[in-house]
Structure 1
Amino acid sequence: MRRLGIAFLLLFFILIVWVQSWLFIPTPKINNTDITQYPVDTLDEQHLMLHKNFINKNEGGLWELYTEGSPFDIGYSTGVLAKELLDRHEEAYIKKITEKSPIKNKYAIRAIKSMYNRHLDNRILPEYCEEMYGLSKSANPKYNAYGSAYQRILNYHSLYDIERNFDEVEVNSSIGFVLTGNKTYESNILVGRNFEFEVHPDFQKEKLIHFVKPLEGFKFASITWGGFVGTVSGMNEMGLTVSTNPVESDIPTKATMPMSLITREILQYAMTVEEAFNIALTKEAYVSETILVASAFDSTAIIIEKTPDGIDSIQMRTNELIATNHLQTEKLRENRVYDPTYASYYKSIRIQELINNKEKFTVPDIASILRDTKGFENTTIGLGNKKSINSLNLHHSVIFKPNTREMWVSADHRQLDQFICYNLDSVFIQAYNYPPKPTLASSNKYIPRDHIKDSQEYRNYQSFQTFAQLIEDWTPDLPRFQDKELLHFRRLNPDSYLTYELLGDYFAKMNDWDMAQVYYKIALDKEVSTFEKRKAIENKYLMVSK
């Protein structure tokens, strides 16, 4: 009996140690923290400097951040200089975590996240752990109930993978394509890229362009947000670009190295597409993702498809390469069949159609594709449709020209405003100026705003979004909308299936089955954004038809 008691106590002690090992992650050991001794110089309201690092907000509304030094130096400087963004985005992350969690208690959420992400730090390169640790020094202590600052920053990178790959991947609007050879002038490589990641309604509106000069590897630029070390879109000083797109994934049982950090490693250490593939090959993934890589050194591009079960690639056989949100290699896509009812497949066909419509492309021509809101053969499918290349609610849009180390970044989350140009060679030279210039952009090479931004159609769409929310939130205890108000709503976005689905929902709430049936039928005659959404509307139609 005594031996049994001792064995039980020993087992209990082991359990406590095991639980503590993933509830309380040890922080990296940093040998040099001199950066923490430097004060922050306020050059003006939105222009700060810390030692050799600085941040400013340009006239287009883009945040420009330059950091250099050791991983800890880069992380610490990022956190201090971009604290305003870090705080807002951490609040958005916490809200999203709480919203998705089956348990709302913050300590329970910490336990669940800690168990899922247990030993995540052991699966990440030490230098990125050190950078996150430096970043965590500026994290808001009011969220400590969800974990230590360092642990939360680690978990946010895992959350990015989970949120992107399990939350309606089919309607994700991240796309990328590469043109080269006789499809461009002087055979330059041109890369077009739209990226969507919606954590919070205001999240899409803030973009941070992070220019990094690390101690090891290549200098690079990454289009990102506060509190994020990984890369989703970027280019390095050698003219290698990366962009990632989520693919539908099975639910994993544990976290491994986040995909965004695999992409960051590629951006920081690869010069050729082969080097990029080899980096991805050596890493374990727990979600599926496609990585579009273009290289000025190789004058080519590659799509790396990586899943928890394997890796494959698509080489550039012609002068174009297109990546959306579905697997294309026979090896990895298995028995999945895609057709135009799937938004991802629909968008890939539309991109190909637009590429085929023009013999040669310039940078503004690439922007016109990224801004496209039409359907097949220029049909109108309603503004905001997730089958559009531009669904008018993206985090960023960027055009890379690797041969000249130039990139153009959208100033507006709807991609209709100007694209601001940055030349990496020029940026890293300017970074040594003191005081830093008000902007690192090449002011004479911007792409003008799209004409649709000033159109009545666009103004109608803005009104539609407000009105749509009112109809969606309507309940029978509220006053009914007048007929003329509903007619006005239809005219705001007449080609969108969503207009008629919402009207069908409105009349269904009033038990007016005949009118609900009419509107659901009209919605089904429009270009519905996804296969699952069409099935949902069909079910509604059948319900009101009984």
Structure 2
Amino acid sequence: MRRLRLLVKGLLYSIGVLLMLLLIGFSYLYIVAQVDPPDITDRSAENLRRREVSPGFFTLGPNWFRKSRSGLYELYVEGNDFERGVINGKLTGELVRRQEDHFAAQIEKMIPSSFYRHFLKYFIGWFNRKLPAQVKEEYKREIYGISLSASDKYGYIGKPYQRLLNYHAAHDIGHALQSMALVGCTSFATWDGHSADSNLIIGRNFDFYVGDKFAEDKIVAFMKPANGYGYMTVTWGGFTGAVSGMNEKGLTVTINAAKTAMPSGSATPVSLVAREILQYAADIKEALAIANSRHMFVSESFLVGSAADNKAVVIEKTPDSLDVYDPHRNYIICANHFQSPKMLHSPANEQQMKESASPYRYERVEALLQQAQQNTVRQTVAILRDYKGNGGTDIGLGNEKAINQLIAHHSIVFEPKKRRVWVSTAPWQLGPFRCYDLNKVFSLRGMQVDQEIADSSLTIPADSLLFSPRFADFERFRSYRQRLLDGGHVAPDSIVTSNPTYYHSYVLAGQEARYRKDYTAALAYYRKALTLEIATAQEKKAIEKAIADCLKLSEEK
């Protein structure tokens, strides 16, 4: 009995020590996760009030915000850092709060357990504990200004400033966590003899997907900072970084994720490096100097186009090194693998080229550019909309190997010398592309009357796919896929007929047949999937494992 009491006592002591260590650990995480806002001397901007001039059109001094007939929101903001942030937040406050609602809802779908969500909060807080030291004071003050308009209902995640600052690293963290199954963007440029008028043309698909709702409220933002150059970006509420943009000097930046190892801590978010280039670089040399001055914790490609240089290069950057890919020809392509001498043969890049969809998309762009020897803006849009495989094969709608994966947050085309930019409208890049002239938009400073600012004479019409029976079938496929993700069920044959040339249709059908314990049918679906164009080596291995599991289950039955 005495021995049993000692055993119980020892067990209780061990449990107490463990609980104390957990308490100390969570207390430490809580303390280091706290981020104090920057000190602001002049807070007079907080007293400013927006004015609704007409329904949906808001002004605040010379700044304005509206929703165009195309469905795109349009924003103009000027001033110093904190003032810009405050004004941005006051004008777009509804979108700032709605965007966070969409983001939080998607996180809840991905991580249903509230315990794990809270754990993730502390993990991200710890991971980003040094983030403020990696962000320019100017950008911290701007983000803080916007955060004053953020929602109060996400206090369990953190205070508004801390949340918005961390959201700027969401692309990087998501990129690192999904590095093994990277969803990739595609961009390219032509100039001199490969462009019909010899001028630089740049096109890109931003395939960043955080649910359908997240992409609904796109903002075409025109910013006129007190320091640096005026620039435009396609963005969303509460986000001050840049993923696609052009400045008043005709300098463009777009970002493409590359293979990266799991980082050990935070650094400057990629989007803020791109933003700094837009705001302070007038040519490729200056863009390179800024990129070289910043430390990042993921690997990224920056496609930089320059009106001054009438060419584009790719700045390839990892946490440890930097190199420039200059093809020394009149076109350039950027997918999700590195091409520069220093980066090309790195183990991570070679793995990426071997196992991902990136080289396949690269080859498809190259083939289409060879067909468009005298490239134009319209041809650039046509390439960005291309959903076929190499050789024009049918690889199913939504395949990651396609240039157009039908998940893009936005698609964009630049003509830097003319300061023109075309932005896609929903859905994805299939709706009309609206043209904005930076010179004209910046000359509207102080616009007090609601008006369309896009040049309707340069609109590129919607893609014909949008009105086809095939697109209706694809929408049906997406609804089936969502139903399955939500825990529902769909007849396997219905899934297949909705997108019959897409390998993933058969994977989903196989999963449903397996759920019904119809292993013969499941095997047939999985084997059919193997005969189609599979996006990644990882997915092929998963299908082969599913076949092996079904064979084992059918034998046991």
TM-score, L = length of structure 1? 0.91
Q: Unpaired runs of 5+ in structure 1?
A: 1-14
Partner of 1:399: 413
How far apart, CA to CA, are the structure 1 residues paired with 2:392 and 2:518? 36
Q: Is the 8 A contact 1:56 1:439 kept in 2?
A: no
RMSD over aligned CA atoms reads: 2.4
Select which of 214, 228, 235 maps to 1:203: 214
Select which of 510, 526, 529 maps to 1:523: 529
Q: CA deviation at 1:46?
A: 1.9
How far apart, CA to CA, are the structure 1 residues paired with 2:45 and 2:425? 32
Matched, 1:375 2:389: yes
Q: Is the 8 A contact 1:173 1:394 kept in 2?
A: no
Q: Is the 8 A contact 1:136 1:153 kept in 2?
A: yes
How far apart, CA to CA, are the structure 1 residues paired with 2:338 and 2:405? 21
Alignment of 1:162-177 (within 5 A): 162-167=173-178, 170-177=181-188
Q: CA deviation at 1:19?
A: 6.8
Residue identity opposite 2:79 in structure 1: G
Pick closer, same or farther for the CA change 1:488–1:198 going to 2, 3 Å: closer
Alignment of 1:273-288 (within 5 A): 273-288=284-299
Matched, 1:69 2:82: no
Q: Is the 8 A contact 2:336 2:358 kept in 1?
A: yes
Pick closer, same or farther for the CA change 1:458–1:356 going to 2, 3 Å: same
Residue identity opposite 2:330 in structure 1: N
What's the secondary structure of 1:83's corresponding residue? helix
Q: Is the 8 A contact 2:57 2:66 kept in 1?
A: yes
What's the secondary structure of 2:314's corresponding residue? strand
Pick closer, same or farther for the CA change 1:164–1:470 going to 2, 3 Å: same
How far apart, CA to CA, are the structure 2 residues paired with 1:318 and 1:93? 41
Residue identity opposite 2:439 in structure 1: D
Q: Is the 8 A contact 1:472 1:502 kept in 2?
A: no
Pick closer, same or farther for the CA change 1:166–1:17 going to 2, 3 Å: closer
Q: Is the 8 A contact 1:381 1:526 kept in 2?
A: yes
What's the secondary structure of 1:291's corresponding residue? strand
How far apart, CA to CA, are the structure 1 residues paired with 2:456 and 2:30? 53
Select which of 116, 133, 144 maps to 1:122: 133
Residue identity opposite 1:35 in structure 2: A
Q: CA deviation at 1:95?
A: 4.3
Select which of 191, 201, 205 maps to 1:190: 201
Pick closer, same or farther for the CA change 1:111–1:507 going to 2, 3 Å: closer
How far apart, CA to CA, are the structure 2 residues paired with 1:503 and 1:111? 38
Q: Is the 8 A contact 1:171 1:387 kept in 2?
A: no
Partner of 2:496: 490
Q: Is the 8 A contact 1:169 1:325 kept in 2?
A: no
1:454-473: per-residue Cα shift (whole Å, max 9, x none)?
Answer: 11111111122223444666
What's the secondary structure of 2:305's corresponding residue? strand
What's the secondary structure of 2:70's corresponding residue? coil
1:338-379: per-residue Cα shift (whole Å, max 9, x none)?
Answer: 557621111011000100112201111000000000000100
How far apart, CA to CA, are the structure 2 residues paired with 1:120 and 1:275? 25
Matched, 1:507 2:513: yes
How far apart, CA to CA, are the structure 2 residues paired with 1:450 and 1:207? 20
Partner of 2:464: 451
Alignment of 1:61-100 (within 5 A): 61-95=71-105, 99=110
Alignment of 1:15-414 (within 5 A): 22-95=32-105, 99=110, 104=115, 108-167=119-178, 170-333=181-344, 334-335=346-347, 336-337=350-351, 342-414=356-428
Pick closer, same or farther for the CA change 1:30–1:96 going to 2, 3 Å: same
What's the secondary structure of 1:82's corresponding residue? helix
How far apart, CA to CA, are the structure 2 residues paired with 1:145 and 1:523? 43
TM-score, L = length of structure 2? 0.89
What's the secondary structure of 1:309's corresponding residue? coil
Residue identity opposite 2:477 in structure 1: F
Pick closer, same or farther for the CA change 1:416–1:108 going to 2, 3 Å: closer
Q: Is the 8 A contact 1:58 1:64 kept in 2?
A: yes
Pick closer, same or farther for the CA change 1:304–1:543 going to 2, 3 Å: same
Q: Is the 8 A contact 2:62 2:447 kept in 1?
A: no
Residue identity opposite 1:243 in structure 2: T
How far apart, CA to CA, are the structure 2 residues paired with 1:267 and 1:470? 41
How far apart, CA to CA, are the structure 1 residues paired with 2:270 and 2:235? 14
How far apart, CA to CA, are the structure 2 residues paired with 1:162 and 1:56? 32
What's the secondary structure of 1:223's corresponding residue? strand
Partner of 1:533: 539
Moved more, 416-425 or 501-510: 501-510
What's the secondary structure of 1:421's corresponding residue? strand
Pick closer, same or farther for the CA change 1:109–1:472 going to 2, 3 Å: closer
Residue identity opposite 2:545 in structure 1: N
Q: Is the 8 A contact 2:259 2:352 kept in 1?
A: no
What's the secondary structure of 2:323's corresponding residue? strand
Q: CA deviation at 1:106?
A: 6.5
Pick closer, same or farther for the CA change 1:28–1:125 going to 2, 3 Å: same
How far apart, CA to CA, are the structure 1 residues paired with 2:520 and 2:486? 21
What's the secondary structure of 2:232's corresponding residue? strand
Q: Unpaired runs of 5+ in structure 2?
A: 1-24, 553-557
Partner of 1:7: none
1:130-171: per-residue Cα shift (whole Å, max 9, x none)?
Answer: 101101100111112322211111111122211134225644
Q: Is the 8 A contact 2:184 2:257 kept in 1?
A: no
How far apart, CA to CA, are the structure 1 residues paired with 2:447 and 2:164? 32
Pick closer, same or farther for the CA change 1:301–1:501 going to 2, 3 Å: same
Q: CA deviation at 1:528?
A: 1.1
Q: Is the 8 A contact 1:173 1:389 kept in 2?
A: no
Moved more, 164-173 or 390-399: 164-173
